[in-house]
Amino acid sequence: MSWVRIDDQVGRHQKFLDAGPAASWLWVLGIAHCQSQLTDGFISDKVLPLIGIPKGYTPLALRLVSVGLFDRVTGGYQVHDYLDFNPPRVQVLQKRADDLARKRGGFPSDSTRNPNGFQTESARNPAGIQTESAQIPEDPSRAPAIPSHPSPVQEPEDQDHRLRREALPVENAPRRSKNPPTIASFRVTFAVIGHLF
């Protein structure tokens, strides 16, 4: 998944103030398209209506050309200075290939950070021993209380109540409907309730 890097002062830049909000939004959508499709800043005439503004995109694109945010080129538009602020396609593809190789086979064997290509234990915990927070208490009722999550006080059940609950026959137990309620049943319910008031 790609993402777009935009300066936080873009809304105050004179070119964007001159272009207006709709054309500025087309510029953002154009940057997103170039980033996700790795076009090195090129937006074709065929793609322009498909990147988010289906009607009125041509006057907006020409407005971006007039203020210097797009350049008109053969077959479409080029985002002005795109490669000055974004990595080129070949660099992105090389980084992706390097990341994939690293994830599949570990670090290269000549890596000083991890010469074996994989890390068996955490650097913070080289012996592999669980810390106190990772240990599971033997008896959950004796687990230490977390100050922000106090444990509820449980009152002991009396013997008779527990027996009565266990003695309930299965056929008296509440049952869930096999068929969930439908929109039509809600409509009927609300229609009935509406007539009552």
- The 10s digit of each residue's pLDDT in 45-98 is 999 999 988 889 999 999 999 999 999 999 999 999 999 999 999 999 999 898
pTM for this structure? 0.53
Amino acid 109: pLDDT: 52
Classify residue 153: in a domain, yes or no: no
CB 26 within 8 Å of CB 61: yes
Q: How many folded domains does the chain comprise?
A: 1
Name residue, tokens 């290939």.
Answer: 97
Work out the burial of residue 7: count CB atoms within 10 Å of its CB; fewer than 13 is exposed, 13-18 middle, 19 or more buried.
Answer: exposed
pLDDT at residue 151 is higher than 50: yes
Would 68 be classed as within a structural domain? yes
Give the range among 89-93, 104-108, 124-128, 187-191 with minimum mean pLDDT.
187-191
How high does pLDDT run on average in the chain? 75
pLDDT band at 144 (very low <50, low <70, confident <90, very high): low
Within-domain flag for 174? no
**What pLDDT score was predicted for residue 137?**
54
Q: What's the pLDDT at 156?
A: 56
Q: Is residue 143 predicted with pLDDT exceeding 80? A: no
Please indicate, yes or no, if residue 52 is contained in any of the structural domains.
yes
Range of the domain at 33: 10-85
Please tell me which residue, 135 or 76, carries the higher pLDDT value.
76
d(CA 2, CA 36): 5
Domain membership of residue 162 (yes or no) is no
**Inside any domain, residue 178:** no
Residue 76: both structure tokens together = 């479409």
* Lowest mean pLDDT, pick from 23-27, 67-71, 132-136: 132-136
- Give the residue, 98 or 2, on which the prediction is more confident: 98
Nearest to 2 by CA among 97, 103, 87: 87
In angstroms, rounded to a whole number, what is the distance separating the alpha carbons of residues 169 and 69? 76
**Beta pairing partners, 72:** 77
Residue 49, domain member (yes or no) = yes
Highest mean pLDDT among 96-100, 131-135, 138-142, 173-177: 96-100
Smallest CA-to-CA distance from 30 within 45, 17, 18, 14 is with 45
Neighbours of 45 (CB within 10 A): 13
Whole-angstrom distance, CA of residue 71 vs CA of residue 77: 6
**Ordered alpha helix ranges (H), 4-156:** 14-19, 21-37, 57-67, 82-85, 89-105
Residue 57, in any domain of the structure:
yes
Residue matched to tokens 């790609």: 2
At residue 197, the pLDDT reads 42
pLDDT at 126: 56
pLDDT at residue 23 greater than cutoff 90: yes
Structure tokens at 127: 């012996």
Residue 169's pLDDT band, with cuts at 50, 70 and 90, is low
Residues 6+ apart with CB under 8 A from 30: 43, 51, 64, 70, 77, 79
